[in-house]
Amino acid sequence: MGHVTSTWVEPSNTATALLLLGRGSDPDTERGVECPGDLPAPSDPDLVARAAAAKAKLGSKVFVLGHHYQRDEVIQFADVTGDSFKLAREAAARPDAEYILFCGVHFMAESADILTTDTQRVILPDLAAGCSMADMAVLGQVEAAWDTLTELGIAGETVPVTYMNSSADIKGFVGRNGGVVCTSSNAKRALDWAFEQGSKVLFLPDQHLGRNTAVLEMGLSLDDCVLYDPHKPGGGLTPEQLRDAKMILWRGHCSVHGRFTLESVNDVRERVPGVNVLVHPECRHEVVTAADYIGSTEYIIKTIEAAPAGSAWALGTELNLVRRLALAHPDKQVMFLDKAVCYCSTMNRIDLPHLVWALEELVAGRVVNQITVDVDTAHHARVALDQMLALPGADTPPAAAA
């Protein structure tokens, strides 16, 4: 493989504005951006009835998936709710559904396309619903990083591990290079497997999940971890740092979970005596170490469901989910960890007008916003996903933080 370089070009203000409006293109991200057709007005009082009528007309031909971070107005029409990997597997378990309508973000719909049959079509109501974390690792950058490791003679002992929250291109890269995909629930098992294959791990694209798993669950030290910045020559690291590291962490993060700070934790403890702080492992290391409990989205939900009445919980995760849990458990005090409102802005692009439009277009016989992954990429991404499914052991709830 020849040397690949990655050059950062600052986008113009106009290009950025068009991208945010869903009327532009950015070839270096995993997102699509165009949304053809006329959407219903968001103020249309008949949107709920229109969505219900269209879904009823389609019947078993359509299967609607709703990620936990979706708006309530959308989640009410989901046949199944869950995290990204659960939803992709649910789609694969419905081979008779002609259309998989994925209310989530782009990389999730890609995973569903990889895992479903060739006759099924996966649809994303708004192609501009991307993921900022996934966009922080693009294929050219990762291939350039791999070239750097190859030139140093350490690629052969390095196993790539990518978080589910990555593009199909990155999953494909990992599959081609003997690696594995992981979720926030099984990251430790994936890393255990990886360190049986080699002495180093290149962890993509979320530095925080990689660091927190390595240090808090596997006994590695912070000194065993280095941060690779794709916008700097050699990742901003010396050859010695790369040779000595056990965990090469990609400089990526979740725009939601990365907002929480140690001050947020200290502030809620002062305001709410006896509060339990429960955070997602995508949070910063200092936040996770200051929390009482750490776990995936599914773990957070199950923990709140099992919590005793009267208990107080500050949750470090996306606000739509926190609000939904608070409403579902009025006997408990469930609150957002930070004082600032923090929705996932790209996840929230899937709104009721986009859902109605996608459903009504299907009723009219028009397939819109279909997500397809090319055959070669899908094959290698499936290799990495299958390796994850083959990992030994079963998921167990994470322990309370020390």
Q: Is 52 helix (H, G, I), strand (E, B) or coil?
A: helix
Residue 115 CA: distances (Å) to CA of 43, 81, 111, 350, 375: 36, 17, 6, 22, 12
Give domain status of residue 279, yes or no: yes
**Each residue's pLDDT tens digit, 260-278:** 999 999 999 999 999 999 9
**Each residue's pLDDT tens digit, 138-167:** 999 999 999 999 999 999 999 999 999 999
Give domain status of residue 36, yes or no: no
Task: Read off the DSSP letter of residue 272.
Answer: S
**Each residue's pLDDT tens digit, 349-386:** 899 999 999 999 999 999 999 999 999 999 999 999 99
Q: Is 312 found in the same domain as 362?
A: no
Whose structure tokens read 């277009």? 361
Residues of the binding site for [4Fe-4S] cluster: 131, 254, 344
Q: Is 154 found in the same domain as 100?
A: no
Range of the domain at 241: 134-253
**Each residue's pLDDT tens digit, 241-260:** 999 999 999 999 988 888 99
**Each residue's pLDDT tens digit, 192-227:** 999 999 999 999 999 999 999 999 999 999 999 999
Q: How much is the mean pLDDT over the chain?
A: 88
pLDDT in the model for residue 210: 98
**pLDDT range class, residue 346, cuts 50, 70, 90:** confident
Q: Is 288 found in the same domain as 208?
A: no
CA distance 22 to 129: 9
Residues of the binding site: 67, 84, 131, 163-165, 184, 254, 280-282, 297, 344
Residues of the binding site for iminosuccinate: 67, 84, 163-165, 184, 280-282, 297
Whole-structure pTM value: 0.85
Give domain status of residue 385, yes or no: no
How many other CB atoms sit within 10 Å of the CB of residue 393? 10
Q: Is 153 found in the same domain as 218?
A: yes
**Each residue's pLDDT tens digit, 17-65:** 444 444 555 555 555 555 556 788 877 889 999 999 999 999 999 999 9
Among 26, 22, 29, which Cα is nearest to 11's? 26
Give domain status of residue 2, yes or no: no
Q: Supply the CATH number for residue 208's domain.
A: 3.40.50.10800
DSSP of 118-160, one letter per residue? TT-EEE-S-TT---HHHHTS-HHHHHHHHHHHHHTT-GGGEEE
